[in-house]
Structure 1
Amino acid sequence: MSSGPESEGPGKIPEGSWHTYKRLLRYVKPFWIAFTLAIIGNVIYAAASTGMAAAMEYVIKAIENPTDQNRLILTLLIVGVFAFRGLGTFMSQYFISYVGRNVINALRTDVFDRMLTLPSRYFDDNAAGRLVSKLTFNVEQVAEAATDAITITFREGLTIVGLLGYMLYTNWKLTLVFLAVGPLIGAVVSYASKRFRKISKRIQGSMGDITHVASESISGYRVVRTFGGEDFERKRFQKVSESNLKQSLKMSSTQAISVPVIQVLVAIAIAALVWTMLSPTIRGEMSTGQLVAFITAATTMAKPIRQVTSVHSKIQKGLAAAYDVFETLDERSELDFGIFAPQRVKGDIEFRDVGFSYRDQLDNVLNNISLTVPAGQSVALVGRSGSGKSTLVSLLPRFYDYTDGEIRIDGHLLEDFTLQALRAQIALVTQSVVLFNDTIAANIAYGALRDCSPEAIRDAADKAHALEFIDRMPEGLNTMIGDNGVMLSGGQRQRLAIARALLKDAPILILDEATSALDTESERYIQNAMETVMKGRTTLVIAHRLSTIENADCILVMDNGRIVESGRHQELLDQGGAYAQLHQMQFSEHA
């Protein structure tokens, strides 16, 4: 990971607040100088606040004895105390914010880095909107716990300690009277904290739902409008938004009740203090100035006590968010124990009795798949939807790990390759093309291809028959194509994906319904380009249109996760089996 400490390995972290805070504090460690300056600022602020209460004794003296010297000292004292407090406020707020934002940056980077290494199953189980919510909303909640909450807790907590210290020093008996309500305040805070944390978890869940529903509706706006889904989406969004509102109001009501209850308890303590103070036996030899200073310290303490207790909601939100963030950091990355990292493989592929099942399914999606693809040959996979074609090819780049049998490339087990080296050998074109909000050139030369020359990019686009529309664009290869290529047609997007695969020039090529989005004319061009690019490469083709794979070296017919027929196009037609039936069906439809 780029910043912050390493995660503590897989598995859930304990529920304990202190355990979670300890992990957060490890992110603070690299910024200990700024954190120390923030603490010094808090100490200065607390000392100044205590000094303001203590200064009341000198105010009374100056009023009772208004000499020129006392007037000057009192004036300087007031300015000095406020200037001192201002310095403390600046240091505490700025430096704790500096630490907090850096902690958030480190956490956010770590979570994103971890997401890039998580297995495909994790993304199958978690909606994209909820994962985005983790990176945005949840991490910001941690920010509040790491900045505002720490600042207020330290600053006001030290102020309380300073004022209590002064009160004990002045008259310890009166201080004990004031402290009598301490256990009651503690009980209120404890109850509120537990409730805050429980509600915070629900708020995070509801925010994930809001992000998820909104992102689905926004990205699928054409389907929503075409099929009249506006009312349905409106109601769906209102439902999750109202759930968030309900939980937020519960949080607000708990905070709104706990703060005045604590204030009333503090007021009772102050009233008891005043009543007791008027007793000559308790008051002892305290002067009027000392009495006023003492009562000022007690009343001054009401504000920091209120702030320390009200900040509990932010702390509990932050803890709940940090727990959720650490849960993601503790997820297992893709298994990558391989050490074999060749520059380029020949491309011999062998499947031996391969079986695969998704985590929650009892039945295997693939059963006893055995096939050999010599380097440079093409194998086409055909069969009805759900027969296991896409699952089979997704095992090759290890998007999923097979559960039975073994797969080898050039005689080496897939697990022996490092993931980076394995995937460097494979170019992939899928039916659902993924493009980025960038230029056409950047989309073709994506990732590890970004250093390719403009000439190479143009050549790949030419071979994919993409130049005929690229050259009509206002800025050619440098034209921005919008979110997921929204400015392009389905066929144009598909040709960019094919150009990307051509530019990669990998020894193994996977074409998953790669020509499905093309019109007849474009398909003919692409078919010619594909025949050229497939020469010398091991190619696995999933095809819906059987006309596109008639020249494949081998055609495999799949059904219910098994290979039921294999052979060349004419051989399979002559057999009159499943392939012949599929071919006849498509021929009839075409006719």
Structure 2
Amino acid sequence: MRAADRLVKRTIRHSGPWLYVLAFTSVAGALMELALPFVLGRTVDSLVAADSASPVWLGTCAAVVLLIAACEVFGVWASGSGGARATQWLRLRLLRHVLGVGPAMTRRFPEGELVTRLGVNAEEVGRGPESIVTGATLVIPTAGGVVALVLIDPWLALTLLAGLTLIGLVLRAFLRTTTSIAGDYQSAQGDIATRLVDALAGARTIAAAGTEDRERARVLTALPRLRLHAMEMWRANARAGVRAGAVVPLLEVAVLGVGGLRLAAGDLSAGELYAAARYVVLGAGLGAALGHVSRLGRARAAAGRLVELAEEPQTAYGALPLPAGPGALELRGVTAGVLTGIDLVVPGGSSVAVVGRSGAGKSLLAALAGRLVDPDAGQVSLDGVPLPELSSEALGEAVGYAFERPVLIGETVADAVGLGLGDPTEAMEITVRAAARAACADDFVRRLPLGYGTPLEEAPMSGGERQRIGLARAFAHGRRLLVLDDATSSLDTVTEHRVSRALAGELGGRTRLIVAHRVATAAAADRVIWLDGGRVRAYDTHTTLWRDPGYRAVFQVSGHDRAGLPPLDESLSSPLGAGAS
């Protein structure tokens, strides 16, 4: 837990000025509570003796009580504000790291787990500073109570110290236990969130299949485990509370018993005994730290889960610009996931289709081409420069990606197409519109209420329209290499034909790597990479490969041939331009 404790400490420093307000109000409130028994004791003695200073002491009591109340109010305010600021810093830092790691993060942590950690767990860590500061200030009245009892009577102080030792042992054991249980509880929360995110992503499929009850049961599979850990947490709190609750009254009785004996012997006054009773309550108030310790335990457990995210290495970029070149892609000895020993050279400006059965590694090869993932072994180069040596800017300008189900990010449609191109300028606007025209998106975008300035939430789009925006985004970025991962699957035949003509025409000078599921797409490409079992089985033209029954079977098994008709051959492939997908 050392890394988790360090993260909690760093979070303390980022609570902003509210942390100092909280510390001040907590310390001031503790000092006022420490002063209250003394003031009350003097007031009692003054009233008993009918002293003329009684009104002064009564006024002092009222002032101390008002100050304590004011410290409580400002402390609560500062606690909430400081916790919110610390949580904001932590979330931004972790979100930046998660996005810097890239797709590798979601391979280890599902989306629901990431949401839970960046949401609930980050908030629990953000509350850690408040627990530490407020809990630490409990030491002030405790220490002050001990010192005051030493001044009143050392025997009372020794009695209090013996009881505080027992309370300290209870709190230490409780912190260790609650940290462990809280970690298990948070893990169960993440499991439920992961299942829920998966269910929401497939909501239409679930509704169509009528399996809502079954899916609800699947999502809530971890609920009994969550309940179990919640009950363990409650029992741990109860056990610690009972132990502290047993020690505190016994401690008070012991101190008062000793104090009574000292009073009977004439070594204490009535006011001193009353003050001693109040100081015992303050000193034993350390037992009230259970709530703070519980929150600190949850914060430590949550910090441990956040540290796991922070330990994922970010993608490191080099500083090299991309030299002049046609966009030649080269893979040498590449091994990653299911892919093993991949050696390929994709000539610059060519159109190459990637085909293979499900699980052959097509999308992984596409991800390697633009460094969405790094290989476990081997090297991927673009125009002779290994991708890790390129700067982030150079790689972003050179490679454009389009996916089957693009996620549109930004405030407006223009933002979604120009994402990553920089601040809006006239040149950027020209690039965005040209890319949209090539992707056949310009016409429907112009029909939107505000055209390219239409907010995304006010621009409902079909699956094909979203794919066209995704294609436009790729065209705007990929100056040398376009990677299309089944990126035209939702387009109608006419639109796909128009996009294919753009790929072969105005975009024809760029290298195109296309994950293909259709015979027509493979036939239109210059060459085809045939993946089988994670290896390159063949790399040749579609016409040559079509003679192999195994190659033809790839398209038959994929289900893209027309039902009830014989398999398509190259003569039936539509004459789409190079780069169709």
**Above 0.5 in TM-score?**
yes
Rounded Cα–Cα distance in structure 1 between residues aligned with 2:379 and 2:254: 80
Aligned partner (choices 375, 382, 399) of residue 426 of structure 1:
399
Is 1:112 paired with 2:85? no
Rounded Cα–Cα distance in structure 1 between residues aligned with 2:16 and 2:171: 29
Query: Are the equivalent residues in 1 in contact too, given 2:112–2:190 (CA < 8 A)?
Result: yes
Aligned partner (choices 326, 330, 350) of residue 346 of structure 1:
326
Rounded Cα–Cα distance in structure 1 between residues aligned with 2:258 and 2:377: 81
Q: TM-score, normalised by structure 2?
A: 0.88
CA shift, 1:35, in A, is 4.0
Rounded Cα–Cα distance in structure 1 between residues aligned with 2:72 and 2:255: 30
CA shift, 1:49, in A, is 0.9
- Give the match for residue 577 of structure 2: none
Query: Are the equivalent residues in 2 in contact too, given 1:179–1:269 (CA < 8 A)?
Result: no
Deviations 1:113-132 (A, max 9, x none): 11012153331121111011
Shift of the 62–36 alpha-carbon distance from structure 1 to 2, 3 Å rule, reads: same
Alignment of 1:467-478 (within 5 A): 467-478=442-453
Query: Are the equivalent residues in 2 in contact too, given 1:378–1:552 (CA < 8 A)?
Result: yes
Aligned partner (choices 462, 469, 474) of residue 437 of structure 2:
462
Deviations 1:394-444 (A, max 9, x none): 212222323444333222223322344223211111223222374322221
What is the total number of aligned residue pairs between the two structures? 561
- Give the match for residue 357 of structure 1: 336
- Give the match for residue 309 of structure 1: 290
Alignment of 1:120-135 (within 5 A): 120-135=103-118
Aligned partner (choices 265, 279, 284) of residue 247 of structure 2:
265
- Give the match for residue 144 of structure 2: 162
Deviations 1:194-250 (A, max 9, x none): 221111001110111222122222232111111122111221233323432332232
Rounded Cα–Cα distance in structure 2 between residues aligned with 1:238 and 1:25: 35
Alignment of 1:491-506 (within 5 A): 491-506=464-479
- Give the match for residue 326 of structure 1: 307
Specify the code of the residue in structure 1 equivalent to 2:36. Answer: M
- Give the match for residue 208 of structure 1: 190
Query: Are the equivalent residues in 2 in contact too, given 1:46–1:162 (CA < 8 A)?
Result: no
- Match of 2:505, SS state, is helix
- Match of 1:534, SS state, is coil
Rounded Cα–Cα distance in structure 1 between residues aligned with 2:430 and 2:319: 35
Alignment of 1:61-460 (within 5 A): 61-67=45-51, 69-90=52-73, 92-147=75-130, 149-280=131-262, 283-302=265-284, 304-336=285-317, 338-342=318-322, 345-352=325-332, 354-358=333-337, 365-367=339-341, 369-436=342-409, 438-448=411-421, 451=424, 453=426, 454-460=429-435
Rounded Cα–Cα distance in structure 1 between residues aligned with 2:71 and 2:181: 34
CA shift, 1:170, in A, is 0.7
Query: Are the equivalent residues in 2 in contact too, given 1:507–1:538 (CA < 8 A)?
Result: yes
CA shift, 1:32, in A, is 7.7
Query: Are the equivalent residues in 2 in contact too, given 1:44–1:87 (CA < 8 A)?
Result: no
- Match of 1:550, SS state, is helix
Query: Are the equivalent residues in 1 in contact too, given 2:112–2:193 (CA < 8 A)?
Result: yes
CA shift, 1:137, in A, is 0.7
Query: Are the equivalent residues in 1 in contact too, given 2:112–2:195 (CA < 8 A)?
Result: yes
- Give the match for residue 480 of structure 2: 507
Rounded Cα–Cα distance in structure 2 between residues aligned with 1:36 and 1:231: 51
Query: Are the equivalent residues in 2 in contact too, given 1:62–1:70 (CA < 8 A)?
Result: yes
Rounded Cα–Cα distance in structure 1 between residues aligned with 2:423 and 2:550: 44
- Give the match for residue 3 of structure 1: none
Is 1:588 paired with 2:566? yes
- In structure 1, runs of 5+ residues without a counterpart are 1-14, 359-363
- Match of 2:31, SS state, is helix
Shift of the 424–584 alpha-carbon distance from structure 1 to 2, 3 Å rule, reads: same
- Give the match for residue 40 of structure 2: 56
Deviations 1:467-522 (A, max 9, x none): 34334434433444449x8x322211111111112222511111222222222232
- Match of 1:339, SS state, is coil
Query: Are the equivalent residues in 1 in contact too, given 2:334–2:380 (CA < 8 A)?
Result: no
Query: Are the equivalent residues in 2 in contact too, given 1:491–1:522 (CA < 8 A)?
Result: no
Shift of the 196–283 alpha-carbon distance from structure 1 to 2, 3 Å rule, reads: farther
Q: TM-score, normalised by structure 1?
A: 0.86
Rounded Cα–Cα distance in structure 2 between residues aligned with 1:385 and 1:553: 23
CA shift, 1:95, in A, is 4.3
Shift of the 95–402 alpha-carbon distance from structure 1 to 2, 3 Å rule, reads: same
CA shift, 1:372, in A, is 2.6
Query: Are the equivalent residues in 2 in contact too, given 1:437–1:482 (CA < 8 A)?
Result: no
Query: Are the equivalent residues in 1 in contact too, given 2:362–2:515 (CA < 8 A)?
Result: yes
Shift of the 450–434 alpha-carbon distance from structure 1 to 2, 3 Å rule, reads: farther
Shift of the 430–449 alpha-carbon distance from structure 1 to 2, 3 Å rule, reads: farther
Specify the code of the residue in structure 1 equivalent to 2:31. Answer: A
Specify the code of the residue in structure 2 equivalent to 1:356. Answer: T
Query: Are the equivalent residues in 2 in contact too, given 1:178–1:269 (CA < 8 A)?
Result: yes
CA shift, 1:273, in A, is 2.3
Specify the code of the residue in structure 2 equivalent to 1:469. Answer: F
- Give the match for residue 42 of structure 1: 26
Query: Are the equivalent residues in 2 in contact too, given 1:92–1:151 (CA < 8 A)?
Result: no
Rounded Cα–Cα distance in structure 2 between residues aligned with 1:194 and 1:30: 25
- Match of 1:424, SS state, is helix
Specify the code of the residue in structure 1 equivalent to 2:8. Answer: L
CA shift, 1:457, in A, is 2.7
CA shift, 1:347, in A, is 1.0
Shift of the 328–283 alpha-carbon distance from structure 1 to 2, 3 Å rule, reads: farther
CA shift, 1:102, in A, is 2.8
Aligned partner (choices 505, 521, 535) of residue 548 of structure 1:
521
Rounded Cα–Cα distance in structure 1 between residues aligned with 2:63 and 2:348: 83
- Match of 2:566, SS state, is helix
Shift of the 283–121 alpha-carbon distance from structure 1 to 2, 3 Å rule, reads: farther
- Match of 2:126, SS state, is helix
CA shift, 1:177, in A, is 2.3
Moved more, 453-462 or 164-173: 453-462
- Match of 1:565, SS state, is strand
Query: Are the equivalent residues in 2 in contact too, given 1:45–1:159 (CA < 8 A)?
Result: no
- Match of 1:563, SS state, is strand
Identity of aligned residues (%): 24
Rounded Cα–Cα distance in structure 1 between residues aligned with 2:48 and 2:548: 116
Specify the code of the residue in structure 2 equivalent to 1:237. Answer: V
Query: Are the equivalent residues in 1 in contact too, given 2:403–2:485 (CA < 8 A)?
Result: yes
Deviations 1:565-591 (A, max 9, x none): 343344445x55644666799482569
Query: Are the equivalent residues in 2 in contact too, given 1:344–1:425 (CA < 8 A)?
Result: no
Specify the code of the residue in structure 2 equivalent to 1:384. Answer: R
